[in-house]
Amino acid sequence: MVPLPAIDLIALDLDGTLLGPNDDISPANRRALRAALDAGVRVVLVTGRGAVDVPTRLVRELHLNVPTICAHGALTKDFLSGRVLGHIPVPLTHALPMIEHAQRHRLNVAVYVENGFLRLEGLPPHMEDMRGPNWREVPSLVDALKKAPPTFVRFLGAHAIEAMRAAFSDLPLDFKYEVWDRFEECAVTSLEATKKNALERLCGDLGVAASRVLAIGDSRNDVPMLRWSGIGLAMGNALPEVRQAVGRVTARCDEDGVARAIERYVLEPLARREEKSA
């Protein structure tokens, strides 16, 4: 049996992976993460969310001391210092025509700029958290983008997605389609803005080889990251196409799949190595 590589860094998706439906971390997942951190293993959060609310809270709750990858890989930020380490926005030459089209046809669209989301006034919120403090209604998204290009653009709901796809699917951008229950979304980023690319850059900065990375996720946009890592695991609740593309699968989110993976691929091998050296 080939021994498992020693893991120096754990990369974790949030929704459907580490977090439950109420943005909570189960006690088992917390214990496993604490044990890994105490053993000197770095933990990196890699999420499609913006650099607000939940990622910020988790960094402080878990006492993480490495940067966080947000916005589908378009933004890497050190929340402890407030420093942005990497930012790959959607080029305005592509973003503006999309936003102008969406605004003209009153499509449900949102843009992430700086530290929050903007959406058009007068349109009903597509999700409950769109009423939260990190969301702001504006009369014109086009005018808002004159200050800075968006980190990413979100088309929300089947109607908006189909209209966007019909008009702009030929643009050289990365269209990230996701479905959760009855909720559909397409996040649009620069082609270079992916979780895999951001994690590879961060690991290079930290001096961590891909072979010594354990990555866990559940979505289509996690697949390249999981395949790049030395050990990549799809969650048991991931789509069948994601599980098939990744190959290795851990338990479901509601079965503490993250904790089981950390125990099997990090903590147990570490304990065996310590026994041999004793």
Last residue of a domain, one of 149, 167, 190: 190
- Residues 69-85 have pLDDT tens digits of 999 999 999 999 999 99
Strands 152-156 and 109-113: antiparallel
Residue 179 CA to residue 221 CA, distance in Å, equals 12
pLDDT value of position 30: 97
In a domain, 209, yes or no: yes
- Going by pLDDT thresholds of 50, 70 and 90, the confidence category of residue 3 is low
- Taking alpha carbons only, the member of 242, 90, 103, 244 closest to residue 179 is 242
In a domain, 1, yes or no: no
In a domain, 224, yes or no: yes
- Residues 207-242 have pLDDT tens digits of 999 999 999 999 999 999 999 999 999 999 999 999
Q: What is the mean pLDDT of residues 56-73?
A: 95
Phi, psi of 98 (to 5 degrees): -65, -45
CA distances from 17 to 118, 148, 256 (A): 27, 32, 9
Last residue of a domain, one of 131, 155, 190: 190
In a domain, 31, yes or no: yes
Total count of domains within the chain: 2
Strands 9-12 and 42-45: parallel
- Residues 97-153 have pLDDT tens digits of 999 999 999 999 999 997 789 999 988 887 777 788 889 999 999 999 987 899 999
Q: What is the pTM of this model?
A: 0.93
Are 119 and 35 part of one and the same domain? no
Model confidence at 245: pLDDT above 90: yes
Encoded tokens for 60: 């402080």
Q: Give the range of the structural domain holding residue 46, as residue numbers without chain letter.
A: 9-87+193-277
- Going by pLDDT thresholds of 50, 70 and 90, the confidence category of residue 278 is low
In a domain, 26, yes or no: yes
Encoded tokens for 132: 């939260």
Strands 213-217 and 231-234: parallel
pLDDT value of position 40: 96
Contact, 117 vs 135, CB < 8 A? yes
Half-sphere exposure of 68 (CA within 13 A, CB side): 28
Torsion of the alpha carbons at 43, 47, 49 and 54, rounded to the nearest 10: -30
Encoded tokens for 115: 């530290």
Question: How far is residue 238 CA from its own chain's centroid?
Answer: 14
More confident residue, 43 or 178: 43
What CATH number corresponds to the domain at position 106? 3.30.1240.10
DSSP state of 217: E
SS3 74: coil
- Taking alpha carbons only, the member of 3, 33, 4 closest to residue 18 is 33
pLDDT value of position 100: 96
Are 78 and 107 part of one and the same domain? no
Q: Would you mind telling me the total number of residues written for the chain in this entry?
A: 278
- Taking alpha carbons only, the member of 164, 178, 176 closest to residue 102 is 164
Last residue of a domain, one of 190, 207, 228: 190
